[in-house]
Every structure is written in C-alpha cells, then in structure tokens.
Homo-oligomer: A and B are copies of this chain.
Amino acid sequence: MDTAAQPETAPAENLSAKVYADLKMKLIVGQLRPAETLSIRTLAEEYGVSAMPVREALRQLASEDALIGAAKKAYRVPDLNSSEAANLFFIRAILEGAAAEIAAENVRAKDIKFLEKLVQDMDTAWQNQDAVQFLLVNFKFHSRIYSLTGNSALQSMIESLYARTGPWLAHGITELVTIDSWMGDHPAIIGALRNRDAALARKLVEEDARWGVDLYRARS
C-alpha cells in the first residue's frame, strides 16, 4: 500500500480512496510512464487487496482523464500529443494564475519559509538526478500556494491537472531541461508573494505553467 507518498489531502477512509490516492500521486510524480498499462488484478495483488477497490480507483482516475479506460481493454496511462498537452497547461495557467492572485493576499510568513525550503529541496533533488523527488517537491510548492486560496474545489481541479501532466513531464524532464531554464522562476514567485504583489504573482505562475507547453514543443 505504501508504495508511493501519500498526498496531503488523503482522507483514506476506505481502501478505494487509498488506492486512488496512491495511484494519483504516482501519476503526479511520474512513477507511471505514458502508455503504461494497468491491470486491475495485478494491482490488486500488489496492494494486497481484492479487485474491488482497485477497479473503483482506476475508474475514478479514468473519469478525470488521468487514465484511459476503454471497454474490456486494459487501463493505460495517457500519452499526450502536443495539442492535448497544450490544452492542459493552458488550464493550469488560468487556474493557478487566479489562485496565485488570491494567495498573494493571504500569504503568511510561515508559508514563505516553507516555500523557500521547498526551493532548496528541489535544487538538491535535481542535483541527485531524482526526477520523482523533483516532481514531488515541485507539486508541493505549487500545492502550498493554491491551498492559500481556501478554495478546495480549485485545489482538487489543479491537482487533477498535475496527475494528467505528470507522466509526460517525468518522461521529458530528464532529456533536455537544464536547471537554469526554469529554476529562476520559483524564487521570483516567492518574492512576489512576499511583497503581496498579486499581479506579478499571477504573471509568474502563468509563465511557470507555460514553461510546460514550451517543454512539450521542444520535444516534438
């Protein structure tokens, strides 16, 4: 069961929720590769549960298009084309931009401190070539920001977008991204939040999401 880190929002009331949270986190951090196939029975054995919780978790992920599920065919991780990826990063830019705007008004000193630590963690993860840890910390960074909006609906929607873009990001990130091409943005975002500059925070976060699109274009 504890094969992946649990997300902060894990309610874990029942087995289905646990499996769902675990698989979703694996998607976010890139522990599942594009076009990879997922079988209910195989996963059930891995998790040590029956097929029932797994099938509900897979169906749930498929319902938010984090997985692809066709009738009588194995579930599989989506392999995004450039158009689909652009659409997702476009929505991320919209939602996270709006979230950052609100977050800039609610941010506290402890939030700044936490974000600064995450920037360091992301740096070390990169130096260790640990793509999973890198994406996990990146997710935590953004997650902390839009949790400051107090809008849980907004939060779950953005989370879903990370689950959908995670597999592709993990697949492409080690190939051609240099540490300079992105790392400069996160400290700038922290600075905008500290200064309560909502407009700048929005702009920077939107650019950070746009970076995902650019990364995709560079690959294809």
Contact = CB atoms under 8 A, between A and B. Distances in A.
Interface string A52-64: 0001100110011
A65 interface: yes
A153 B65 contact: yes
A59 B154 contact: no
B14 A87 contact: no
A63 B65 contact: no
Nearest to A154: B91
Report the contact-size class of chain A (Cβ under 8 Å from the partner). Answer: 20 to 34
A175 interface: no
B164 A153 contact: yes
Copies in the complex: 2
Contact of A87 (B13, B20, B151): B151
A71 interface: yes
Given A60-B60, A91-B95, A71 B157 contact: no
A156 interface: yes
A151 B59 contact: no
Nearest to A14: B71
Interface in A99-113: none
Contacts of A150: 87
Nearest to A70: B13
Contacts of A156: 64-65
Interface in A141-195: 150-154, 156-157, 161, 164
Interface of A: 13-14, 16, 20, 55-56, 59-60, 63-65, 70-71, 84, 87-88, 90-91, 94-95, 98, 150-154, 156-157, 161, 164
Q: Which 6 A-B pairs have the closest CB atoms?
A: A87-B151, A13-B71, A60-B63, A94-B98, A87-B153, A91-B154
15 contacts: A13-B71, A55-B56, A56-B56, A56-B59, A64-B64, A64-B156, A65-B152, A65-B153, A84-B153, A87-B153, A91-B151, A91-B154, A94-B95, A94-B98, A153-B164
